Chains A and B, each alone.
Chain A
């Protein structure tokens, strides 16, 4: 039943490795981009607040598939942005990461904003009374606590991001779901086995993330 695994025809590990790489690069990028967006949205400059709010509302309501396809067809093919990639695979991978960061950043921003809301008002007031500027209040007092209470929603964003990397197959990135598509067509007599293998692969990727970060969330939670 599982003899397609031994045929040596399909490199499962390689495909899942691309999935992992997509996840890790996009996770780091969207954490940075999301933090910047959250900073803009709670900041004192009206223009930046408006940009943050507008960006989040627009991008969150666009399907990820459209964002990724727009990166590939619009940015790479039409406008010739290559992001330093040489080959077709390279450019596709980088565009997928860019699209995932642009999309996931909005969810990171919202998770952080809900974390900022858990910080008691008195703390920010006390910090202001000490004469700290907005930037100092945000980076020294509010954000460190916000991050700690946002671990659970951020975990969910990370898990969703792991699953969302499958969208990259829409622009020809050879990750797990792309391989599954090839395999179900070639090994159609083992359809359920192929599906089971890939489902198992994603459970292996997402379940430990959830458990580990769930444990971290409990450890770092600010007791109030």
Chain B
């Protein structure tokens, strides 16, 4: 394989690449050896710390799967609530009336500029003060509220970018046949914008899934990461094994979502029936307020 940056390797380059590979592998091997040696030293490689995840189905049925279910539940709830809210905010930001556009813009920029953890902590305390939601499900409510507030404003930006990505002719044509602004939005622009922003929305779902872990570490929300404490308490301080399995589940879940988003984006770009306009997955990062890492 050749690239712009380097030629198809000749004999000399091949030898050099081989040398780099060897040096890299030796370095990598040294790090790996150090990690394994230290783990063995601290008794983390012992079989009984790892076998529960393969042999004991209880670790899955009592800890990991319920945790995963809480994670998925919070992410799904947050997305389902944030989607219409975000759509409304996004359309509001494109309004012709300044008295709608400016306040909506301020709300969106505000919630995008502050960390989602602050929103969760605030929501948690607000639920304690103003509602009588039971303390067991309070963390879930707080996490979902924080995620909704933040992600609705990010989705608003995706929706806005989706509508603005449509060719100008669409608006012209709709106006030419005498559609009102509302009709134009509902019948012409939004349906097309939805396909354009699908990939960006799927990638946003990855951000939501990742952010649920905040609730586990700080608000006692019993999602996947939170189960780490219970597992290490029950299976003999196998911290590294538990964290490895938990990260693997997160990575597989999010990798599936990311791949789906890229596949969707490629497919939509190829599509001849649509206008071919697609909101790039990272377009929402291009704002003053904040980014979606």
Contact = CB atoms under 8 A, between A and B. Distances in A.
B128 A188 contact: yes
Contacts of B240: 74, 78-79
Contact of B255 (A57, A80, A153, A206): A57
A47 B25 contact: yes
Nearest to A209: B288
A159 interface: yes
B118 to A, nearest CB: 6
A163 B125 CA distance: 20
A152 B282 CA distance: 12
A64 B210 contact: yes
Contacts of A157: 291, 293
Contacts of A181: 121, 218
A64 B293 CA distance: 9
Contacts of A79: 35, 38-39, 42, 44, 240
B137 to A, nearest CB: 19
Contacts, number: 185
B258 interface: yes
Given A180-B118, A202-B114, A70 B4 contact: no
Contacts of A167: 117, 214, 217
B251 to A, nearest CB: 5
B122 interface: yes
Nearest to A106: B293
Contact of B285 (A156, A198, A199, A203): A156
A191 B119 CA distance: 12
A180 B146 CA distance: 15
How many of chain A's residues touch chain B, expressed as a range? 35 or more
Given A79-B38, A160-B290, A66 B121 contact: no
Interface stretch (A6-14, A89-97, A121-129): A121-129
A170 to B, nearest CB: 4
B9 A44 contact: yes
B290 A159 contact: yes
Interface stretch (B16-24, B53-61, B88-96, B177-185): B16-24
Contacts of B129: 188, 191
A73 B243 contact: yes
A78 B44 contact: yes
Interface string A30-59: 000000000000111111100100000110
A20 interface: no
B289 to A, nearest CB: 7
A202 B92 CA distance: 25
A177 B117 contact: yes
A198 B291 contact: no
Nearest to A164: B293
A206 B289 contact: yes
List the 6 closest pairs (A to B, CB-CB), nearest first.
A61-B254, A156-B291, A170-B217, A63-B213, A160-B293, A63-B210
19 contacts: A42-B5, A45-B24, A63-B225, A66-B213, A73-B228, A74-B243, A80-B38, A124-B4, A142-B5, A159-B290, A160-B291, A163-B290, A169-B117, A185-B125, A199-B114, A202-B115, A207-B113, A207-B288, A210-B288
Interface of A: 42-48, 51, 57-58, 60-66, 69-70, 73-74, 77-81, 104, 107, 121, 124-125, 128, 134, 137-138, 142, 152-153, 156-157, 159-161, 163-164, 166-167, 169-170, 177, 180-181, 184-185, 188, 191, 195, 198-199, 202-203, 206-207, 210-211, 214
